[in-house]
Amino acid sequence: MRQYQRKAHAGYDPNDRSYDRKLETKLKRMRPEDLDELLHGEDSEQTPIPPSTDKPEGET
């Protein structure tokens, strides 16, 4: 997570993304476990990716 807002590019686009100092303070005070749950959802355990059922080329 970036700690500071992005830079505006002169003549290209405005820096229109808001930056909330209160949110920054809350995030810095959160326990790492709570922050991980917030970013990754309720189940922080990674779900294994099932193996592909596609057959390699040339195989029927």
Q: What tens digit of pLDDT does each residue of 20-52 get? A: 889 889 999 999 999 899 888 876 455 556 665
* Predicted structure pTM score: 0.41
| Cα–Cα dist 20/7, whole Å | 15
55 or 39, which is more confident: 39
Determine the Cα–Cα distance for residues 29 and 2; give it in Å rounded to an integer. Answer: 16
DSSP bridge pairs for 13:
9
Q: CA-CA distance, 55 to 60, in Å (whole number)? A: 7
